Amino acid sequence: MQAGTPQATQDSRGTHAVEANFDGLVGPTHNYAGLSFGNVASQSNEKRVANPKQAALQGLLKMKALADLGYRQAVMPPHERPSVGLLRTLGFSGDDSQVIRRAATEAPELLAAASSASAMWAANAATVSPSADTADGRVHFTPANLAFNLHRSIEHGTTQHLLSALFRSEPHFAVHSALPGTPALGDEGAANHTRFCGDYGARGVEFFVYGRRAYGGAVAPVRYPARQTLEASHAIARRHGLGADVAVFAQQRPDVIDAGVFHNDVIAVGNQQVLFCHEHAFVEQALVYQSLRDKLGSQGTEFHVVEVPEAEVGVGDAVSSYLFNSQLLARPDGRQLLIMPQECMENPRVAAYLDHLIASGGPIAEHRVFDLRESMRNGGGPACLRLRVALNASEIAAVAPGVWMNNALFETLGAWVERHYRDRLSVEDLADPQLLDESRGALDALTALLGIGSVYAFQRN
Ligand code: SUG
């Protein structure tokens, strides 16, 4: 640990905490099947040949870099893919190889849905409320039902198992089941949830952003789907025990969803007292700011907005560069570090804006750029790949110890990827039943490396 870095400690003010990032480790079936309607990158890269090995190594390099900077960093294991369970539910029978061959012949789109490595985008794994905000003083997790997309709707069961394995101490953690997977309760997890606070261990303000209301008359997008409903966000706030002083709800602008902003984290990111967002992010944006300012203010914390004007960076630039899908990380001096995808540097308007932003001396002090191209081509930037969990010292001690990133784990996982992953995977390759054996072999080895027990269905049969 470097001096002055955000290690959790007990101090005289009570319980101090830090933010830990749990990044999704890219699974061995990473591919481009164009499965996500409304996600421009996923649709435009359909049928491109993917490199799962490179994808996993790119993610590991980001994790290692953040751990080296002194941030608490952990890894979330991938899910078993292809999901033979889904294919059997859909009527394909025989032994596992026959199930895959039959699906490949009769319904390749269903095989693709069963094979997506989409669990890598851990920001969609769950919504997390830290213990300082909840009624019972535990950290609460609700796995997202991801009901809008078939390939993502099969994630929440395994997510719940994995979260329960990583956060297994019931006195500290409450892992809920997902909300019912129905359009009225569509939930996409932390991608539509931001927590503002002073110290991470102090009471915060949780900001829920929804795309539409299932009941009642809010305007909805017309071209692309609004995946998150207000009713789902309300339900999560209720089950996490968040008081009215803690929760703020806002609607995402329908026209920006129609421009490709399928999650709020494609147009806004916040951390501690800073919100970095586009001027067209929310319906009644000034009122949203006021509400956040008031609630944070009543907890003694001053709220700062860094708003990007359309005239400098258009919504289209935000969608193609993923400027707002950056991670905002607290620096020891109280200012923020922005972790961004290299695509930002390839867009001259975004690059110029960043120069001006850093030079302005505002709350964002610094930026660092990462090559996450393999994930980006499916619409997943730095912020999509991580689930944030604010933890105090006793909660950190209660997390499964083997998942924390350090030099040794980085080396171990790098060698594991080199050994088990292909460097080329096309949509046609998903028909190869051998991929299932390779994936299971990889995941079996991984659970042993991380010391998290038998979390996958194939290990329990
Ligand atoms: O849900 N892409 C994901 C990307 C998720 C990004 N996450 C956040 N913004 N937090 C999605 O649209 C594409 C998979 C494919 O096409 O094979 C996909 O699922």
Q: From CA 70, how far away is CA 366, in angstroms rounded?
A: 16
Query: Considering only CA atoms, which residue is closest to atom 15 of ligand 1?
Result: 35
Inter-CA distances, 252 with 217, 219, 261, Å: 14, 10, 9
Tell me, in angstroms, the distance from the centre of ligand 1 to residue 65's CA: 24
Tokens representing residue 350 in the block: 């975004």
Prior bond to 82 cis, omega within 30?
A: yes
Q: Is 423 helix (H, G, I), strand (E, B) or coil?
A: coil
- Whole-number pLDDT of residue 7: 45
Tell me, in angstroms, the distance from the centre of ligand 1 to residue 431's CA: 22
Tell me, in angstroms, the distance from the centre of ligand 1 to residue 36's CA: 6
Where do runs of H (alpha helix) occur along 277-406? Answer: 285-297, 315-321, 348-359, 373-376, 393-398
Task: Tell me how crowded residue 444 is: count the other CB atoms within 10 A of its CB.
Answer: 15
Query: Considering only CA atoms, which residue is closest to atom 6 of ligand 1?
Result: 380
- Which of 122, 84, 160, 93 lies closest to 439 in space, CA to CA? 84
Most ligand 1 atoms within 8 A of CB, residue of 26, 32, 121, 385 to mutate: 121
Query: Considering only CA atoms, which residue is closest to atom 10 of ligand 1?
Result: 384
Name 184's bridge partners: none
Contact 267, 315 (CB under 8 A): yes
- In the annotation, is 206 catalytic? no
Tell me the whole-structure pTM to 2 decimals. Answer: 0.96
Most ligand 1 atoms within 8 A of CB, residue of 26, 39, 49, 267 to mutate: 39
Q: Class for domain 17-81+116-460, per CATH?
A: alpha beta
Phi, psi of 64 (to 5 degrees): -65, -45
Query: Considering only CA atoms, which residue is closest to atom 3 of ligand 1?
Result: 379
- Whole-number pLDDT of residue 217: 73
- Protein residues whose CB sits closer than 6 Å to any atom of ligand 1: 32-36, 39, 42, 116, 118, 121, 123-124, 152, 191, 262-263, 265-266, 378-380, 384
Contact 162, 84 (CB under 8 A): no
From 19, 188, 206, 395, the catalytic residue: 188
Phi, psi of 380 (to 5 degrees): -120, 105
Most ligand 1 atoms within 8 A of CB, residue of 384, 388, 425 to mutate: 384
pLDDT in tens, 111-145: 999 999 999 999 999 999 999 999 999 999 999 99
- Whole-number pLDDT of residue 15: 65
pLDDT in tens, 426-445: 999 999 999 999 999 999 99
Atom of ligand 1 nearest to the CA of 189: 10
Residue 312 burial class via C-beta count within 10 angstroms: exposed 0-12, middle 13-18, buried 19 and up:
middle
- Whole-number pLDDT of residue 218: 72
Query: Considering only CA atoms, which residue is closest to atom 1 of ligand 1?
Result: 36
From 140, 161, 263, 420, the catalytic residue: 263
Strand blocks (E) in 371-422: 386-392
- Whole-number pLDDT of residue 461: 74
- In the annotation, is 356 catalytic? no
- In the annotation, is 277 catalytic? no
- Whole-number pLDDT of residue 216: 83
Q: Which residues of the chain fall short of a pLDDT of 70?
A: 1-15
